Amino acid sequence: MRSTATNPVGEATEVLMALAVERILSKHATSQQRDKARLAMRADLASPGVESCVVGKLGLLHDYAEHLACELINEVLVAGQEPCAD
């Protein structure tokens, strides 16, 4: 897929998603399924629907990462509270 990242968090999100997809494909997909998925997500071959789906999932992951970062920052800034204590 073509990069849609506009900042370092977006770039990291794309790398994380690519690594996660590859890990899942290598662990759970047949060789034929892996080839089909990789072909469908190639930047030069992806349909508008596939590209839209990938961009949407990247947006969700980006937003979730920033949400977790905000939660962590807030927990660290609260005096006497250890981060991720819950």
Three state DSSP letters for 17-79: HHHHHHHHHHHHCCHHHHHHHHHHCCCCCCCHHHHHHHHHHHHHHHHHHHHHHHHHHHHHHCC
What's the pLDDT at 1? 63
Does some domain include residue 23? Answer: yes
Does some domain include residue 19? Answer: yes
Does some domain include residue 2? Answer: no
Does some domain include residue 86? Answer: no
Does some domain include residue 29? Answer: yes
Residue 13 belongs to domain spanning: 8-77
- Cα–Cα nearest to 37, from 55, 79, 46, 85: 46
State the pLDDT confidence band at 23, using cuts at 50, 70 and 90.
Answer: very high
- How many domains is the chain partitioned into structurally? 1
Does some domain include residue 45? Answer: yes
Q: What is the DSSP letter of 7?
A: S
Whole-model pTM? Answer: 0.72
